[in-house]
Amino acid sequence: MKNLGRILTATITPFDASGAVNVAEAVRVAQFLIERGNDGVVVSGSTGEGNALETSEKLTLFTEIKKALGSSGTVIAGTGGNNTRQSIELTKQAEQCGVDGVLLTVPAYVKPTQDGMLAHFGAILDATPLPAIIYNIPGRTATNMLPATFTELARRHANVAGIKESTGDVNQFTAILRDLPREDVTFWSGDDYIFLPSLAIGGYGLISVAGHLVGRELRAMADAFDAGDVDTAGRIHRDLSPLIAALFTTTNPIPVKWAMGTYGFDVGPCRLPLGDMPDALKATLAPLIAPYRP
């Protein structure tokens, strides 16, 4: 199976003054992320305000970002939703855009059963040869995919590339890693703050928000851990922790989008129903991102 990368960032979606997607700036952000230590980008995820994007906007972003990155970085298209038929269709369309893989999220709001998840994901996976990352984030979806459900899904479908796991529950991480059905199934932490602990129990990668700002540092942390230099890995983890905490003081992607604006990117505001960046948080975050300014 194609290696989708170790350090991936779920990229923001810039908007212009009229509120339209700024495709050129989205491409520039993606190129910046690859230059700053990322192996690839997730497009139209929750950090990319995927729920606020029209299908045509998503497809344009998939096409243009992949065209710009070429072989320099992977593009993972956020195509999963809570409507199975629509998810299948979007996944097929993303495939035609040339993306390297897809991100399929546990359906939000509808609270599917574990059997329902197997059927939902199975229908999408059967409709595409693309490698798929299953995204479990009960804080947003209100439903937790149990480790046994993921194990069974990966056993049934060879194009399950791995899981983006965002429960923050080390016991759940352990159960998933203990029962991986194939060697080519990858565990990506879905939260920056717990990336290093996940490596300690056998995790491999990260699908990041902070990677917009500190991709090089996150890679250096993983490289140090791999080399057995746990002291250096731990120091980087501790140094980054105030910044990572601040990025999630209010709803993601509000803080990271604002931060990228201070880096010189014309990102625009978040689309409704997300609100504006609080002034108090600007004052907190500004000195934390200053050392990493390009």
- Give residue limits of the domains in the chain: 7-292
- From 164, 204, 257, 282, the catalytic residue: 164
Question: Is 67 noted as a catalytic residue in this protein?
Answer: no
> What's the pTM value of the predicted model, to 2 decimals?
0.96
Amino acid, single-letter form, for residue 89: E
Antiparallel, parallel or unpaired: β 40-43 and 7-10: parallel
Diameter over CA atoms, the chain: 50
Higher pLDDT, 274 or 2: 274
135 is catalytic: yes
Q: How far apart are the C-alpha atoms of 201 and 175, rounded to whole Å?
A: 10
Q: What percent of the chain has pLDDT over 70?
A: 99
Tokens (6 digits) for 271: 């689309």
| pLDDT score recorded for residue 220 | 98
Q: What is the DSSP string of 58-100?
A: HHHHHHHHHHHHGGGSEEEEE---S-HHHHHHHHHHHHHTT-S
Determine the pLDDT at residue 1: 65
Domain made up of 7-292: CATH architecture: Alpha-Beta Barrel (3.20)
Give the other-Cβ count within 10 Å of 65's Cβ. Answer: 25
Catalytic site residue from 58, 66, 67, 135 = 135
pLDDT classification of 261: cutoffs 50, 70, 90:
very high
Mean confidence (pLDDT) of the chain: 97
Asked whether residue 2 carries a pLDDT value surpassing 90, the answer given is no
Over residues 42-96, the pLDDT tens digits come to: 999 999 999 999 999 999 999 999 999 999 999 999 999 999 999 999 999 999 9
Q: With bands split at pLDDT 50, 70 and 90, how would you rate the model's confidence at 294?
A: confident
Determine how β-strand 40-43 pairs with β-strand 74-78: parallel
Please compute, for residue 120, the number of CA atoms within 13 A of its CA located in the half-sphere on the CB side. Answer: 25
* Per-residue pLDDT tens over the stretch 208-225: 999 999 999 999 999 999
pLDDT of residue 67: 98
